Each structure stands twice: as C-alpha cells, then as structure tokens.
Structure 1
Amino acid sequence: MKAWWWAHQQALGTSIRSLFRQPFALMMTLLVIGVALAIPALLWVLISNGEKIVANMPVTPQLTVMLKPEVRLANVGPLIADLKARPGVQVETVDRDAAFQDLIKRGQLGELGDALPDNPLPDAIVVKFDDINAPAQLLPVLQQKPEVAEVIHDAAWVERLAAFAHLGRTIVIWIGGLLGVGLLVIMANTVRLQILLRKDEIEVSQLIGATNRYIRRPFLYFAALQGLLGGAVAWGVVEFAVIQLHEPVTQLAHLYGTDLALSGMPVLEGLILLVSVMLISWLGAWIAVGRHLKAFMPK
C-alpha cells in the first residue's frame, strides 16, 4: 500500500513540475479550454435562470372562450353547465355590456364609448383549471362548438417559453458535447508533445523494466490537472459574466415591474463541470499515451 501511495505521489509531483515548467504555454492552454467551455456553461446558467423566473410567475392556467357576436350568455346555458361539471374547473362569465363599461371606465374612454354605435365586445366565459395540462386538452373541444368564435389560451406563452428553454438546453448539450470532443483532441495532442519531449526517458524506463502503468501515470495526472484548471477558468468566466450582466438585467426587469436577480452556477453544477473536464482530459491522455507506448517499445 505504501509503495502504491508513493508511486502516485511521485507521479503527481512530476506532473505538477511539468505543468508549470512552461507557464506561458500553460496559460494559453487554460484560456483556450476555459473560454471554450464557458460558452455552453454560461448559456446553461442563463437558461436555468429563465426557467426559475417562469416557474415563479403567478400564472393561472385558463381559457377565455369568446362567443360569437350574435350569441349571448343566456343562450349557452348547457355549455356553461357542462364546464362547471368538470372536476378541477372554475367558470366565470363576462357580460359584454359590463366589460364594455369597465373598459371605458378604466381607460377613461368616455368619448370613444359615445362615438361607437354598438358594443364591439363579445360575451365571454373564463375557464380556470387546477391542472396546468388541462387547458390544452379542452381547447380543441371548445373550438368546435358552433357558438364559440375564438378560444384564447392565456398561459400558452408560458408553455412556448418552456419549450424554447427545453430546445435551448438541448442545443447547449450538443455544443458542450462537441466542445468536449474538441477538448479530448486538444489534450491528446498536448500529452503527445509531452511524450515526445520525454521520449528518451520513456525508452530508458522501458529498458530497465518499468511497466506501462508506471510510465502512463504522470501523463494522466498532467492531463487531469490541466483539465481541472481549465474547468476552474471556465467557472470563473461564467461567474464574472453573471456579475457583469446582473445590473443591466435588473434594470430591465424593473422597467417591466418585476424583481429579477441573476444567480451564478450552483456549486453542484460547477463541480460536475470540473469533474467532466478532468475525465475528458484524462481520457485524451490515456489514448495518446497508449498509442505512443507501443511505438517506444524496445525492439
């Protein structure tokens, strides 16, 4: 056990020395990794903030049934009774005359009311639901009623926004996957250069009986550490961007009469980012070392 621990400790020390031997090259590599990964990570954070905002909005799932101009509420008694009989449904009726008078009063449009020969508003039925999925099920049924002119799904925009958020997450996952493949290639190439610089050392180690595991270990630590630092740079870029966006987003929200505060990447998601980058870097190093160990095998 002591020998195993000593071997890993020695490999880690060798990797750290190799990592900081060329600080400028290290900085450039970390910036490339960090900025590339920060793009999908920042998009993910913004989408998560948007979903939280939508989830906290006091939106009541409801349908507004607009009757045809010649149809009055007194003529649709059976329709209203059928709606009230459904479980989880609350029904309110809106008389056209009362709605018109309320519109004139709220908007101070007395002159406009006197100028209009007839009331342009129809009678309406407002149907509220306990289940958020119920309006979509009842919508086509009400649209086919002969006395109904139009059915407005008042919370449809929330569903559309949720669909856009789901699409955005899917796109971010694809972008992150492609960047992950790119990171694997970059790390494999970086480790390949390290192997070429230590070619003579590797050949001598093989001649004196060093195992492939012993030779491979420092390069794996080297790649994992570089991936960890690159992921930390990406996390830092995301937090910096959130801080910069906080004030303009808050000002924009105040213009719309809402309170909105952007939150950064949660700690759990940040740790997942770090671990994912480390594993991808480790895999790239494993592939690169495996290829070159065969080429350095003594003849």
Structure 2
Amino acid sequence: MNAWLTQHRAAFVQAVRRLAGNPFNTLLSLFAIGIAMTLPAFGYIVLDNLRSLGHSASGGQQISVFMAQDASTAQVDEIRQRLQQLPGVNTRFVPRAEALERLQAKQDLADIVASLPRNPLPDAFIVEPTDISPAALDTLRNEIADWPKVAHVQLDTAWVKRFDAFLRLGKLALTLLAALFAIGLIAVTFNTIRLQVMAKAAEIEVARMIGATDAFIRRPFYYFGALQGALGGLIAAALVFAALAQLAAPVSELAALYGGDYRLRAPTGIEVAILTGLGAFLGWIGAQLSVSLSLRNFD
C-alpha cells in the first residue's frame, strides 16, 4: 500500500512540475479549457436564474380560486381546510372586503367602486403550488374547480406552458453546447499530452528498457491531464463569477424598475466542485486516449 501511494505521489509531483515547467503554454491551455467550460457553465446558471425568476414572477405560478357569491362562511372555511390539506401548496385567503379596499385604493377606479350599491367581489384564495409544471397545474386547477361553491378557478396556463417550453429548449441547446465543448476540451488535452509524449520519447524508451511498466509510464500523464482539466474548471468558475458580478447591478436595477427585488444567484460551492471534477474527468479521458495511441508507436 505504501509503495502504491509513493508511486502515485511521485506521479502527481511529476505532473505538477510539468505544468510549472512551461508556464506560458500551460496558461494558454488552461484558459482555452476554462473558456470552453465557461460558456455551458454560464448558460446553466443563466437558465437556473431564469427558472427562479419565473417562479417568483407575479401570477405566473398562482392559481386564483373565486368562491360563489352565495357561499357561506362555513363553506368558505371548508374550502380553506381542503386547500391546506393539499400537499406542496401554499394558500392565502383574500376576503371580499379586502379585495374591494384594494380597488378603492386605485384612483382610476375609486369613483366607480363608490357608486356600486354593494360589494360585487367574491371571497378568493391565492394558491401557490411548489410543483409548477404545466401538467401539475392543470391537474390541480381541475381538481379545485370541482369543489362545491367554487365559482371559477383562474390560471394562466398559456404563459406557464410557453415559459416551460422555453426552458426545455434552453436545456437542449445547453446540452448540445456542453457536449461540443467537452469534445473540444478532450481534444486540447489530447494534443497537449501527445506533444509531451513525443518530447519524452527517448526517456520513455529508456524507462521501458529498464523494466518500467506501461502503467508507470502513463500515470504522470494521467495526472497531468486531470490537473489541467481541474484548473481549467476553476478558471471557468472564476469567469462565471466575474460575469455575474458585472451583471448583478444592471439586473437589480431592471428588476427595481418593474417593482421587484431580484438578485442573480451565483454558483454554489458544490456546483464549483462539480465543474472542477468534470474538468478533471474530461482531462483524464483526453490524457488516456492520447497516451494509449502515442505509446503504440513505441511497440
């Protein structure tokens, strides 16, 4: 076990030395990898922020339940209890008197409301489900509409379906983009490792002559590819943070103009770790392919 750890530690140190041995070329490769990973990573964060913004948009994910005018207090309380028993649903009751006061507060409607002989507005409930997929919203709306003394259930399903379709299209485009850049990252690592193997050809021949195994020869290159990919992932995360920092103020100002308070969500520590690990994995794949093909020339 100690010998195994010693071999891997030596291979890791050798890979670090190779990275530091040619800093200019290393930086160019790292930035090429980082930029390739930045675009899909930034796209993922943008889509996640759009999803969050869509969830918080007023009325987009709300179901308005209007009671019948002749509904008694007991019947309204019964509907309130049934709504509270639904899983994954937040409910807010809007009494008819409160709704009338809101209309009276609007200057352009104050005179009209004052001329009404009685309050024409019904009691209502604002239902906010946690599952806002179009299918789940339609199912919930149809269920509530069948309850007694429920006069009307309002839901802007067209808006929800359009927004959901947009997100699905964005996910598909992002997946294709990520696949293309993953291939590009593997290609960059492949070419870098191939050049290193060619430069170390004489050293590899001597190592084989004195009994070095292929695993021993491959190991430093694997670590080199994984380290290069991981560092490229960290650079990508830094670029995403920098881009979000530049967009934070304009987005907040735009949200304020529409009467909202929205802050862009930055990548979490787990997401940065996943991005770094993904870079290391793709770098390792590129190194494995490159070394496997390059060492065939020595057979």
**Pair in the same fold by TM > 0.5:** yes
Q: How does 1:179-190 map to 2 (within 5 A)?
A: 179-190=181-192
1:120-164 superposed Cα distances (whole Å, 9 cap, x missing partner): xxx9997865767865248899xxxxxxxxx96336424532442
Hey, what's the Cα distance between the residues in 2 that align with 1:44 and 1:179? 14
CA contact (8 A) 1:191 1:288 kept: yes
**CA drift at 1:262:** 1.3
Letter in 2 for 1:40: P
Q: Does 1:39 align with 2:39?
A: yes
Q: How has the CA–CA distance of structure 1 residues 185 and 263 changed in structure 2, closer, same or farther, with 3 Å as cutoff?
A: same
Q: How has the CA–CA distance of structure 1 residues 14 and 254 changed in structure 2, closer, same or farther, with 3 Å as cutoff?
A: same
Q: How has the CA–CA distance of structure 1 residues 224 and 109 changed in structure 2, closer, same or farther, with 3 Å as cutoff?
A: closer
CA contact (8 A) 2:251 2:262 kept: yes
Matching residue of 1:52 = 52
Matching residue of 1:270 = 272
SS at match of 2:262: coil
**CA drift at 1:5:** 2.1
Matching residue of 1:174 = 176
- In the alignment, structure 2 segments of 5+ residues that lack a partner are 71-78, 85-90, 113-120, 144-152
Matching residue of 2:115 = none
Q: Percent identity?
A: 33
**CA drift at 1:110:** 9.6
Q: How has the CA–CA distance of structure 1 residues 202 and 55 changed in structure 2, closer, same or farther, with 3 Å as cutoff?
A: same
Matching residue of 1:210 = 212
1:219-250 superposed Cα distances (whole Å, 9 cap, x missing partner): 11111111111111101000001111111111
Letter in 1 for 2:51: E
Q: How does 1:1-299 map to 2 (within 5 A)?
A: 1-57=1-57, 59=59, 61-62=62-63, 88=83, 106=106, 108=108, 136-137=138-139, 153-154=155-156, 156-297=158-299
Hey, what's the Cα distance between the residues in 1 that align with 2:190 and 2:257? 50
Q: How has the CA–CA distance of structure 1 residues 37 and 131 changed in structure 2, closer, same or farther, with 3 Å as cutoff?
A: closer
Larger Rg, first or second structure (1 or 2): 1
Letter in 1 for 2:63: Q
Q: How has the CA–CA distance of structure 1 residues 103 and 58 changed in structure 2, closer, same or farther, with 3 Å as cutoff?
A: closer
TM-score (norm 1): 0.73
Q: How has the CA–CA distance of structure 1 residues 210 and 88 changed in structure 2, closer, same or farther, with 3 Å as cutoff?
A: same
Hey, what's the Cα distance between the residues in 1 that align with 2:105 and 2:5? 82
